[in-house]
Structure formats: C-alpha cells, structure tokens
Amino acid sequence: MAEIGLFPLGVVLLPTERIPLHIFEERYKELIGECLETDGEFGLVFADDDGMRGTGTRAVVVEVLERFPDGRLNIVVEGRDRFRIVQETSGRSFDTAEVEDLRDEETGTPNQQDLAECLQAYQRLADAAGAEPAELDQSGASVAFQIAAGIDFAPELKQELLELRSEGERLVKLAELLDRAVDVVLLQRSARERAAGNGHVAPTD
C-alpha cells in the first residue's frame, strides 16, 4: 500500500486525459516540485462542497508550460491509474493518504455491441457539433475513458465513470451521456438558428 500526496480539485482527471493546471498555493508548489524532482506521481481527487471523493487518479506532470519568479507554475498533467483512498495520513503541508489501485472487477474484451453503440453515439455527437472525432486506440487503454477525456462533461458525471468497475459498464453509461449531449447540441443549434432567423426557422425540403 503506497502513500501519495493528494491534490483535491473541483475537476476530475480520467486515465489517459491531459489537463492544464495553475499551481499557486505554497503546499501544492511543494507537492508538484517534489514530483518534478523525482518524476513522481500525485493523486488528483475530485472535491466540492460535499467533500473529497474516495476515488481518484494518479497524475504525472508531462509538461511545464511556464515558471513564474514567485514559484507559481503552469503545467500539464496526464491521468494514469485509478486509486482508492484507504486512509488519510498527516505530517505534510499538503493532504496525503495511503491508497490502493482500483482495478476493474471484470477484465477482458467488452461486449462488442456495447462498444459499437458507444462509438456510434460518439460519432453522432461529433456530427452534431461539426467536429471530427478523435482517433481511438481500441487495443490499448479503456475506450470509454479515451472518449470521455475529450468531452466537457460535468465533474460529477466524470466521477461516476471513474468509479465504475468494468469497461462494459462504462461504455453503456457513456453512450447514454453522449446521446444526452447530442440532444443538447441540437437544441443549442436550433436556438441559434431561430435567433438568426428572427424567431423563424426556414423549412427544409
């Protein structure tokens, strides 16, 4: 069982996901400074008014974008393995805890129909948004995490995906979230068209 430094934030970092962070508090300057010196990991954990969640993601600094004279940093971190907090510990300026890796209860190849339906929902969202879907490594890490990492879901929804213990469950849940997102994008497009047309949408042939 390992002890790692924790970085509670109002965001969720998924495995394979990369996000920028601005480091300005002294305790987190210390934490990130140690990680940079040792190529070490820290634990990014979602925290809000309800407190800190018990499941997080190991993170590693992959790029330092900017160093400021006062020690502040702009960095990019990447999500690695998930973990579960076993026991919070003390003795450092930043939060620490003993953690254990969170593994899927079901391993192996997910149901191909679940995978196909999730990929189709992903394509529908890309089409609705007028964007190209990101290339996915279907032989590598979780496809569900790869897809969700590129979409601006609410942190509570990303946390729910993070805590699921099988790729099949993640694919089914993600397909549902993607279809909801398609509805939102189409509704926003309709609203823009109505606004541009002074409240009227031109009929289609």
Domains of the chain: 2-101 (2.30.130.40), 112-196 (no CATH)
> How is residue 191 written in tokens?
């609203």
Q: What are phi and psi of 2, to 5 degrees?
A: -105, 150
- The band of 201, judged by pLDDT with boundaries at 50, 70 and 90, is very low
At residue 130, the 3 state secondary structure works out as: coil
CA atoms within 13 A on the CB side of 136: 20
User: Taking a C-beta distance cutoff of 8 angstroms, is the pair 127, 181 a contact?
Assistant: no
Q: What percent of the chain has pLDDT over 70?
A: 91
For range 199-203, the mean pLDDT: 46
Count CB-CB contacts under 10 A for residue 44: 22
Per-residue pLDDT tens over the stretch 48-79: 999 999 999 999 999 999 999 999 999 999 99
3-state DSSP percent of the chain in helix, strand and coil, to 5: 40, 30, 35
Beta strands 2-9 and 96-101 are antiparallel
The predicted structure's pLDDT at residue 203: 45
